[in-house]
Chains A and B, each alone.
Chain A
Amino acid sequence: MTQPNTTELARHRRERMMMWLQLTPVLLVLSVLFGGALILAVMQSLGFAPWFGVNTFPDFSYFGALWGSWSFWQSLGLTLYYAIVSTVIALVMGIFLALAMVRMFPCKTLYKYLYKLPLMIPYTVGIALAVIMLGNGGMISRLSAFFGFIGDPSEFPQILKTHYGWGVIAVYVWKQTPFVTLTIYAVLLGVGRETEEAASILGASKRQIFFQVTMPQILPGIVSSTLIIFAFNIGAFEAPFILGGGFPDTLPVVAWRYFNDADYTLQLQGMATVVSIALIASIILYSYLAFYRRYERRIGRN
């Protein structure tokens, strides 16, 4: 048995140091900015806010009051409804788009740039577009009134500001479909077309090819992209605030209303709402991921 010589040991140590040096900036940002804020949020939601003259830590009454009210569960239902429906629509459209993108068609280069356009435009601009186009005082309603289809713009059927949330969903789908497409398209390019062609030669129908060959291959792309957009949708504030239908609001809007109240003690209630959102989102995302990991193991992938 030969002893590793000292230069090798020193090199090994240097490499380790280097690795930690590379990790430190991100670790610092995560632990101080994110971790610190999270700890403070949890403490505030449990009644620690001496700067407002409130310090009843630990006090679960804020969570009790929140979870005990029917409107919280209504808001949670609404939040999940917007998040799930828009994620599913964006996913289906994204898969179709990605499958189309790997084929050859005229003007493909142009189209490849075109579909990414919403990715570069901020959400707020998307929301503004929805208000300008679809609102009751928007372009479409004014044009309909101008051409005499309806008496005045207010008679236009209401699309925005309803609890069906067509406006919210439209903005999410518009913005997130390109993201899903991009992720799945990248996966599709990575795996290549050979397996599909082989399946086709062996006599599989298009349906079988999609569900038994393509789908398992793009599944990592599906999971990672839906994970990200769902996490965003459940915590997003602007779209449901501007385009939502008022009470009951989604949970982020409820939290904002508590924060924005002139009564400072309600900020603790707001913190409890924020912590609840984080809790629910992480439970859902964690179980989604765990479920997927189990599936991966079952089909023998690691």
Chain B
Amino acid sequence: MNKFMMGLTVTAGLLSSVAHAEDAEANAFREAFLGGEASWEDVSARAESEGTVNLYYWGGSDPINIWMDQVVATDLAKLGVTLNPVRITGTKDAIDLVLAEMGSGKGLGEGSVDAIWLNGENFATLKRQDALFGAFADKMPNSDFIEWNAEDPRSLLNLRDFGVETGNAEVPWSGEQYVCAANTARVDRADLPSTFAELKAYLEANPGKFTYVKPPHYIGNTFVQAAIYAHNPDGTGAEPFQQSIDDLGAEEMARLITPGLEYLKSIEPLLLGGQSGNARYPEDNGALDGMFLNGEVDMACKFGLYAVATGLNNGTYPEGAEAFVFPEGNMIKNKNYLAIPANAPNPAAALVMANYMTSVEAQVSKLKYTGMPPGVDPWKLSEAEVTALTEASPGLIGVSQADLDANTAPDTNATLVDVIEATWLEYIERDSADDLSVIVSRAVDNLAK
């Protein structure tokens, strides 16, 4: 449907030879705010006159939707802003809309998307297309809760999103880690794999009891990335994958990812449905959760520090589900963000909302309602605020925070993710007979077009 709308918008844009008059007032506001001349009172006042904020976000989680409707909408109403939550099935839909509207000449104050919950490739796309409002993230009152000092290594995830510099055009909203859960009613804790080799051994003994989400879904990509890190022929793990593809080069890339992809190909016949020659990869985390709940698979991996506690709470995880450390040393951690597009119709209201979302109050209620870990940095908070966050947390089941911290790995550079994704699709899904180096260089060429 959105494609259709997009087609229409584009057609309308092409047909109307009349150039749109830019919303001069909105642009003046943008200049003043980014230039540090507008006070937060000015922003609030303008936000109230704008009245509404259109937040586009993935609407596939009931707890998040409930939290948005019951908590966020109420709190924003107190600030004079009406929240219009637009639930989409894929974040890319919002990106498409922004780009289509920009293509048809709609600038700041004229589009329909005020803010998007996103990270990774979607942010990289907006940045590449120059479709972002600007460096707002460190200029809000609640920006103090986030580490912006580039010299502090802990600021990495605030300044880089999948290795792409954020330029403060998006504000961290939640921090996640890739965690696997097992159904201990079916698997003994002692038998749980902690390395990829052990996973393969487990699958040889119990064929079909595992699968991962299908790339190009980011949850699937992350599993592939973890496998690639663990099989890095140099033993340097995630390190080389922080560079962009231009710096790394196709040849080196192919050399580094070959063992990981060969491993994934070798376990394909052992995955769910692989015995009949047709391995089944779920389309998204909802489908994976279903397989896990039904006992079709014994283990499921996704982004979700508190996924087990939340899943047990709302019945989407089987009783006996527990998190475990897998793969050792390569549990990928990242953050997700709120970005304001360059053609936001209500930029001030978007800023007020982003500031609210970064408040400790909102972070605590988000954690309590949805189990989404905080995006603010605990060392920037007061002791009472840290305690409030700890108390709101649904808790870890099966692993300790120390385990998780000890096995953290950074995400892959967004430009490499595109290549990895294309390579997986060709090498594993389409079962291409070509050499991996050929496939990788072809993917790199295609993406460079």
Partners in one complex: yes
Question: Which residues does A use to contact B, with CB under 8 Å?
Answer: 33, 36-37, 40-41, 50-54, 71, 136-137, 142, 152-154, 158, 161-163, 241, 245-247, 259-265
When A137-B290, A163-B278 are in contact, do A262 and B295 touch as well, CB less than 8 Å?
no
Contact A40 B10 (CB under 8 A): yes
B76 to A: closest C-beta gap in Å = 30
Question: Which residue of B104, B280, B418, B430 is within 8 Å of A262 (Cβ)?
Answer: B418
Interface residue from A40, A53, A260, A263 paired with B7 (Cβ < 8 Å): A40
Tell yes or no: B122 within 8 A of A by CB: yes
Closest 5 pairs between A and B when the two form their complex, measured CB to CB: A137-B294, A51-B103, A262-B121, A154-B296, A247-B429
Residues from chain A with Cβ under 8 Å of B8 in the complex: 33, 37
Q: How far is the CA of A226 from the CA of B252 in the complex (A)?
A: 55
Give B439 Cβ to nearest chain A Cβ, in Å: 13
Measured CB to CB, the nearest residue on chain B to A154 is B296
Among A137, A153, A245, A259, contact of B278 (Cβ-Cβ < 8 Å): A245
Name A265's contact: one of B11, B121, B283, B446 (CB within 8 Å): B446
What is the bound-complex CA distance between A263 and B419, given in angstroms?
10
Q: Which residues of B contact A50 (CB under 8 A)?
A: 103
Docked complex Cα distance between A245 and B102 (Å): 38
- Across the interface, which residues of B come within 8 angstroms of A158, CB to CB? 273, 276
- Contact among A36, A53, A241, A246 for B214, CB-based, below 8 A: A246
Q: Which residues of B contact A54 (CB under 8 A)?
A: 449
Cβ-defined contact, A51 with B296, below 8 A: no
Within 8 A of A (CB), among B287-303: 290-291, 293-297
Contact B214 A262 (CB under 8 A): no
**Chain B positions within 8 Å of A260 at CB level:** 90, 92, 216
Interface membership of B33, Cβ < 8 A: no
Q: Flag if B280 contacts A246 (CB, 8 Å).
A: yes
Chain B residues close to A by CB (< 8 Å): 3-4, 7-8, 10-11, 90, 92, 99-100, 102-104, 121-122, 125, 129, 208, 214, 216, 272-273, 276, 278, 280-281, 283, 290-291, 293-297, 418, 421-422, 429-430, 446-447, 449
Q: How many A-B residue pairs have CB under 8 A?
A: 78
Chain B residues lying within 8 Å of A161, measured Cβ to Cβ, are: 273, 280
Q: Which of B214, B294, B430, B447 contacts A263 (CB 8 A)?
A: B447
Contact A51 B295 (CB under 8 A): no
**Identity of the chain A residue whose Cβ is nearest the Cβ of B430 in the assembled complex:** A71
Complex interface: chain A residues within 8 A of B122 (CB):
262
Q: Is A262 touching B273 in the complex (CB atoms < 8 A)?
A: no
Contact A264–B125 (Cβ < 8 Å) = yes
Pairs across A and B, CB under 8 Å, 12 listed: A37-B8, A41-B7, A54-B449, A136-B291, A142-B294, A153-B294, A154-B297, A245-B278, A246-B278, A261-B216, A263-B422, A265-B446
- Asked if residues A153 and B430 are in contact (CB atoms below 8 Å), the reply is no
A154-B295 CB under 8 A given contacts A40-B7, A40-B10: yes
Q: Are A162 and B278 in contact, with the CB atoms below 8 A?
A: yes
Docked pose: A57 CA to B122 CA in angstroms: 27
Given A262-B421, A263-B446, 17 more pairs with CB closer than 8 A? A40-B7, A41-B7, A51-B10, A51-B104, A136-B291, A136-B294, A142-B294, A154-B272, A158-B273, A162-B278, A246-B278, A246-B429, A260-B92, A262-B125, A262-B418, A263-B422, A265-B447
